[in-house]
């Protein structure tokens, strides 16, 4: 009986072994996440002779490490101070995430040398390399330019108690010039001054009365600009658009007007992008139906909070409307 039992146990073990098969692991390899971290290939770029963004060239960064982790590429212009950050969570830079098209987080890059640093949120390792910009990204092609101040030799700003000028003495976010606008708020004035209205006819010809916008794109059509404050309280940049409700080619005071006031707080250049969907109705007339396809006129203004102030003001630059995404 003992021999028969042993034979039976052997048969059962053999059957169990034959019935088992190796399964394909489900989920990520734990070593790729929790294993020891090590750099395999250092940070590098393919563009060893530099990059020409004006010719639609791009920069592709390369690098490889042992396991999946969060990373950040920080590109800094050595002369402009412009910065671009790119982030991801992979174990290699050989992905679409690590391609740079010359865009920036705020002020624009120039023809310059840039430092590139790769860092990791969960590891102390950093890697550095350099890239030379031989040609800059052409932001004028990204949308409809409203104002850039480059060809301006005298202030076009008008309004009560205002003191404004074209300037280039401090850091410029785009081109070589920016506009400094300031004024005094005597109390309950709100409007300090404006640029002359910007019309579709001025930009596209006398036969065009409306801006080329589509109503369905209201939330993805943006007014973009740069602004820098001086610590003056109650300083607002006001964007206003006027619509031709009856499609007669003329906008008057009985038709819709929408606006957005941006409070200036920072003392460094900030890039602002406001979707047209955020502009709110600001008069008692019109059909109260936002129709960006009927916009004929856009205003750029300096506003206050209506409280008496000896001075309000800021610097502004590069007003441009983009479709589909912010600048």
Is residue 301 within 8 A of residue 194, CB to CB? The reply is yes
Could you report how far apart the first and last alpha carbons of the chain are, in Å?
87
Is residue 87 within 8 A of residue 103, CB to CB? The reply is no
User: What is the mean pLDDT of the segment spanning 275-291?
Assistant: 94
More confident residue, 28 or 326: 326
Beta strand pairing call for 99-100 and 123-135: unpaired
DSSP state, 152? -
Measured CA to CA, the distance from residue 303 to residue 305 in angstroms comes to: 7
pLDDT at 18 over 60: no
pLDDT at 28: 52
Q: In the structure, what pLDDT confidence band is assigned to residue 16 with cuts at 50, 70 and 90?
A: very low
pLDDT at 5: 53
Whole-structure pTM value:
0.84
Residue 3, phi then psi, degrees to nearest 5: -65, -40
Average pLDDT, the chain: 89
Contacts (Cβ under 8 Å, ≥6 apart) of 231: 267
Taking only the tens place, the pLDDT of each residue in 191-234 is 999 999 999 999 999 999 999 999 999 999 999 999 999 999 99
Measured CA to CA, the distance from residue 222 to residue 272 in angstroms comes to: 9
Taking only the tens place, the pLDDT of each residue in 86-97 is 999 999 998 878
In 144-245, where do the E strands start and end?
A: 144-147, 165-167, 178-185, 191-194, 198-199, 221-229, 236-243
Measured CA to CA, the distance from residue 284 to residue 11 in angstroms comes to: 92
Measured CA to CA, the distance from residue 114 to residue 107 in angstroms comes to: 14
pLDDT at 252 over 90: no
* pLDDT cut 70: percent of the chain above it: 89
Measured CA to CA, the distance from residue 73 to residue 115 in angstroms comes to: 10
Q: In the structure, what pLDDT confidence band is assigned to residue 6 with cuts at 50, 70 and 90?
A: low
pLDDT at 21: 47
User: What is the mean pLDDT of the segment spanning 240-266?
Assistant: 94
pLDDT at 4 over 60: no
Half-sphere exposure of 45 (CA within 13 A, CB side): 25
Is residue 195 within 8 A of residue 299, CB to CB? The reply is yes
More confident residue, 292 or 151: 292
Taking only the tens place, the pLDDT of each residue in 139-177 is 999 999 999 999 877 788 988 777 899 999 888 999 999
pLDDT at 155: 80
Domains of the chain (ranges, CATH numbers):
33-135 (2.60.40), 139-323 (2.60.120.260)
Is residue 108 within 8 A of residue 137, CB to CB? The reply is yes
pLDDT at 22: 45
14-23, 168-177, 264-273: which has the highest mean pLDDT? 264-273
pLDDT at 108 over 80: yes
pLDDT at 250 over 70: yes
């Amino acid at each position: 009986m003992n021999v028969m039992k042993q034979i039976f146990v052997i048969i059962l073990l053999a059957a169990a072994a034959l019935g088992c098969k190796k399964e394909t692991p489900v989920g990520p390899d734990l070593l790729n996440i929790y294993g020891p971290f090590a750099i395999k290939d250092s940070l590098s770029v393919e563009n060893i002779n530099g990059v020409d963004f004006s010719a639609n060239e791009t920069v592709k960064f390369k690098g490889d490490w042992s396991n999946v982790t969060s990373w950040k590429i920080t590109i800094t212009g050595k002369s402009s101070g412009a910065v671009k950050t790119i982030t991801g969570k992979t174990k290699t830079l050989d992905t679409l995430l690590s391609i740079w098209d010359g865009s920036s987080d705020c002020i624009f890059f120039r023809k310059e040398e840039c430092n590139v640093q790769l860092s990791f949120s969960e590891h102390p390792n950093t890697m550095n390399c350099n890239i030379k910009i031989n040609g800059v990204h052409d932001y004028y092609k990204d949308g409809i330019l409203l104002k850039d101040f480059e060809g301006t030799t005298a202030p076009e700003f008008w309004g009560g108690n205002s003191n404004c000028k074209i300037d280039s003495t401090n850091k410029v976010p785009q081109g070589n010039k920016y506009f400094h606008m300031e004024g005094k708020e005597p109390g309950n004035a709100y409007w300090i001054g404006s640029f002359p209205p910007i019309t579709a006819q001025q930009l596209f010809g006398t036969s065009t009365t409306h801006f080329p916008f589509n109503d369905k794109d209201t939330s993805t059509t943006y007014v973009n600009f740069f602004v820098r404050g001086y610590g003056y309280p109650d300083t607002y940049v006001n964007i206003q658009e006027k619509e031709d409700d009856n499609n007669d080619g003329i906008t008057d005071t009985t038709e819709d007007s929408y606006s957005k006031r941006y409070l200036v707080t920072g003392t460094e250049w900030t890039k602002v992008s406001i979707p047209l969907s955020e502009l709110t109705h600001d008069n008692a007339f019109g059909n109260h139906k936002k129709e960006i396809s009927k916009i004929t006129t856009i205003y750029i203004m300096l506003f206050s909070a209506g409280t008496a102030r000896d001075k309000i003001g800021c610097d502004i630059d590069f007003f441009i409307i983009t479709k589909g995404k912010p600048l």
